[in-house]
């Protein structure tokens, strides 16, 4: 919400939530509500509703953080970092943070989990290129490299959250089978990369595909269930049958 939009809202409805101030050296010092104050100035308002609090510097900082967290235009990482700062700086529990910001403990806990993602993935969340729903799904992968591979697929293929859930589930199934040893296939964990290749082949060929790989050797199995389907697959692969 821009300052102009906030000013327009105040013009129509008034300031619904009073500003928080404290007395300091004979004056009133603004603690929370800076954007409302600036919007009121844009409108030329002579008076605004306030609540006077007795607050030391520590309480002022806490209130300012809480005020910032209640903005509507925070990105998911800014929100998570705000919760983390309240927990670390003021030694609050997740439950206490939730009460202070008016959210459920689950919302706070899920937001904090986003900070476990690699910085580059957090960057995608900041930019809006990756949704929180996507992020929650890829947190189920076991390491940063697997998560990064999943993000690359999401961005490349435009996967929605449900499609991402399917992708991650297939990778986890493949990992559980122990299809390949770590370190194979270069820079990415073999289980994730083999599953990724399987998934791409499956989509390209429109049939069940299994890739077995370990230490530079393996086999590729492509399933077909009729002569017509075999013909279709061969055409996709560019194999002539005449």
110 DSSP 8-state letter = H
| Other Cβ atoms within 10 Å of 21 Cβ, number | 20
**Tokens coding 78:** 């800014």
Candidates 1, 34, 95, 127; catalytic one:
34
Is 198 among the catalytic positions? no
Nearest one of 229, 192, 242 to 213, comparing CA atoms: 192
Alpha-carbon torsion 210, 199, 235, 228, what sign?
positive
Hunting for tokens 């399917």 — which residue is that?
166
Angle, to 10 degrees, between the axis of helix 144-157 and the axis of helix 190-205? 20
Asked whether the beta carbons of 164 and 154 are under 8 A apart, the reply is yes
The backbone torsions φ and ψ at residue 178, rounded to the nearest 5 degrees and listed phi first, read: 60, 45
Cα separation of 12 and 6, whole Å?
Answer: 10
Q: Three-state DSSP class for 102?
A: coil
Three-class SS string for 161-196? HHHHHHHHHHHHHHHHHCCCCCCCCCCCCHHHHHHH
Cα separation of 112 and 207, whole Å?
Answer: 40
Q: Which residues are catalytic?
A: 34
């Amino acid at each position: 919400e821009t300052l102009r939009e906030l000013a327009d809202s105040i013009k129509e409805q008034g300031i619904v939530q009073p500003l928080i101030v404290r007395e300091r050296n004979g004056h009133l010092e603004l603690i929370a509500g800076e954007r409302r104050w600036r919007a009121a100035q844009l409108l030329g308002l002579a008076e605004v509703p306030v609540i006077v609090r007795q607050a030391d510097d520590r309480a002022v900082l806490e209130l300012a953080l809480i005020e910032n967290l209640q903005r509507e235009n925070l990105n998911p990482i800014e929100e998570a970092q705000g919760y983390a700062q309240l927990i670390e700086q003021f030694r609050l529990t997740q439950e206490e943070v939730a009460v202070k910001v008016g959210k459920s403990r689950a919302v706070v806990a899920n937001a904090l989990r986003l900070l476990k993602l690699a910085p580059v993935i957090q960057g995608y969340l900041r930019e809006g290129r990756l949704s929180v729903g996507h992020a929650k799904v890829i947190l189920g992968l076991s390491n940063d490299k697997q998560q990064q591979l999943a993000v690359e697929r999401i961005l490349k293929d435009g996967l929605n959250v449900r499609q991402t859930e399917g992708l991650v589930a297939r990778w986890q199934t493949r990992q559980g089978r122990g299809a390949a040893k770590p370190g194979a296939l270069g820079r990415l964990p073999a289980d994730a990369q083999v599953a990724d290749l399987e998934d791409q082949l499956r989509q390209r060929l429109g049939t069940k595909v299994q890739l077995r790989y370990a230490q530079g050797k393996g086999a590729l199995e492509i399933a077909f269930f009729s002569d017509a389907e075999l013909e279709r697959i061969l055409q996709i692969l560019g194999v002539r049958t005449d």
